[in-house]
Amino acid sequence: MNLISVRDLTREQIKEIYSLVPKYTETKLILQLANRYIGLIFEKPSTRTRISFEVGIYQLGGVPIELSDKQLQISRGETIKDTANMLNCYLDGLILRVNKHDTILEFAKYLKIPIINALSDKEHPCQVISDIYTILQYKKISLDDLAKIKFVYIGDANNVCMSLIYISDILGMNSTFIIPKKYQPKSLQVNNKNVIITDEITAVKGADVIYTDVWISMGQEKEQKKRIKIFKPYQVNSKLLNLAKPDCIVMHCLPANRGMEITDDVLDGKNSIVIKQAENRLYVQKALLVYLFSH
């Protein structure tokens, strides 16, 4: 089973993954991936995703093998088809963090082993699956109660945002995405009428959860000045936080550009759960790995 998009999972499958997480919150070895060799190809820098996957694989008894894209023959022109067919002979799974989503889709054509999207320009499914688990944990609610709270994302419609939109649709969340008009996703199809996209910052009022991410993603550095000017009113600061509920939790997938999309006082404040949010990546991804390798 592959995880290329969060839309590869149903609500029931996500619920099943979450049911496994408590078993994997301890650091003791549970050797459910014993003798499994899992490759990691990372075209982009990574801290939380790389470490959580590598540590998680080790704790499950597996062996993570870093495959630098610059050290593989693919960097010298070998086709993805030839590379993938060779990896089928050696590996039990492949985790990809890539510049272009099409790279994952091309690998998926030829791989006979599970493939996981660890970030592309289109989505970041592992991040948001873990994020929703963290919300359930902090709000002390079940998946069935998720629609009763107000989730608000504010910022750019990047890969994390798109995966949050998709998982909101799958889980029936009451989600508002506050994005400048020019940067809102186009041709978006969702079935959940409670998924709202707006440019009105006041839509944050009454939020139970506020989530933000960087305004300038990897590869968009040339747009920095233009983006900062447009997104400046969308900063998560104390004034904006005052519009939310007093017990509103603040989330950021990190790394953060402090003083841009979020201020220090909010990121480090009492409402922030960003450290636990990052920690949960390890536990949820262990459950995810076990689930994918058993289906």
Domains and CATH numbers, the chain: 6-123+281-293 (3.40.50.1370), 125-278 (3.40.50.1370)
For position 252, what pLDDT does the model report?
98
Indicate the helix (H) or strand (E) that contains 134.
helix 125-139
Determine the Cα–Cα distance for residues 234 and 31; give it in Å rounded to an integer: 45
Q: How far is CA 19 from the centre of its chain?
A: 19
Q: Cα dist. 283→49, 59, 90 in Å?
A: 12, 10, 26
For position 76, what pLDDT does the model report?
87
Which has the closest alpha carbon to 232: 155, 153, 152? 155
Which has the closest alpha carbon to 283: 60, 109, 16? 60
With b for 16 or more beta-carbon neighbours within 10 A and e for fewer, the 185-217 pattern comes to eeeeebebeebbbeeeeebbeebbbbbbbbbbb
Q: pTM for this structure?
A: 0.95
Beta strands in the chain (DSSP E): 37-42, 63-66, 93-97, 115-117, 150-154, 174-178, 195-198, 209-212, 249-252
Preceding amide of 255 cis, omega within 30: yes
For position 187, what pLDDT does the model report?
80
Determine the Cα–Cα distance for residues 196 and 178; give it in Å rounded to an integer: 8
For position 30, what pLDDT does the model report?
84
- pLDDT-flagged residues of the chain (< 50): none
For position 176, what pLDDT does the model report?
98
**183: DSSP letter:** G
For position 85, what pLDDT does the model report?
97
What tokens were used for 37? Answer: 């060799």
For position 183, what pLDDT does the model report?
95
For position 98, what pLDDT does the model report?
95
Determine the Cα–Cα distance for residues 120 and 278; give it in Å rounded to an integer: 19
User: What is the share, in percent, of the chain residues with pLDDT greater than 70?
Assistant: 100
Determine the Cα–Cα distance for residues 178 and 240; give it in Å rounded to an integer: 12
For position 42, what pLDDT does the model report?
94
For position 170, what pLDDT does the model report?
97
Q: Cα dist. 173→28, 40, 73 in Å?
A: 34, 32, 44
For position 4, what pLDDT does the model report?
98
